Copies of this chain bind each other. A is one copy, B any other.
Amino acid sequence: MGKREPGDAQPYFSTHVFVCGNRRPEGHDRGCCASKGSEKLRDYMKARVKEEKIPGIRINQSGCLDRCELGPCAVIYPEGVWYRLDSREAVDRVIEIHIVGGGRVEDLLLPAGK
């Protein structure tokens, strides 16, 4: 597990969210996050944090996060907490409770180690 060292610079983003944007061909047995709407949900999340003027945050799209069956997936660093973001409401709750409030949205957390 990577660890921060005393000499490390402060992380450039306080909150760095990666939303899986992987798209597989229709019918692939693992499915994919893009087919479940992840691209639009990522755009929505980006717009919402801008509206809220949340400082030090970046919402990025990423390649396949390899948890396809559980998606649409997102991971928030540096804390390394994973969520299923399957609706605008889910995005709103993660912003409000986790990102702004420092809590966890228990019913949207991905299960450990699967």
A interface size (C-beta, 8 A): 44
Contact at A2–B62, with CB atoms within 8 Å?
A: no
List A43-98 residues whose CB lies under 8 Å from chain B.
56, 58, 60-67, 75-82, 98
Contact at A2–B18, with CB atoms within 8 Å?
A: no
Known: A9-B109, A9-B113, A12-B82. A2 touches B64 (CB 8 A): no
List A1-52 residues whose CB lies under 8 Å from chain B.
1-5, 7-16, 18, 21
Please name all residues of chain B whose beta carbon is closer than 8 Å to the beta carbon of A63 when the two chains form the complex: 21, 60-62
Residues of chain A whose beta carbon lies under 8 Å from any beta carbon of chain B = 1-5, 7-16, 18, 21, 56, 58, 60-67, 75-82, 98-99, 102, 104, 109-113
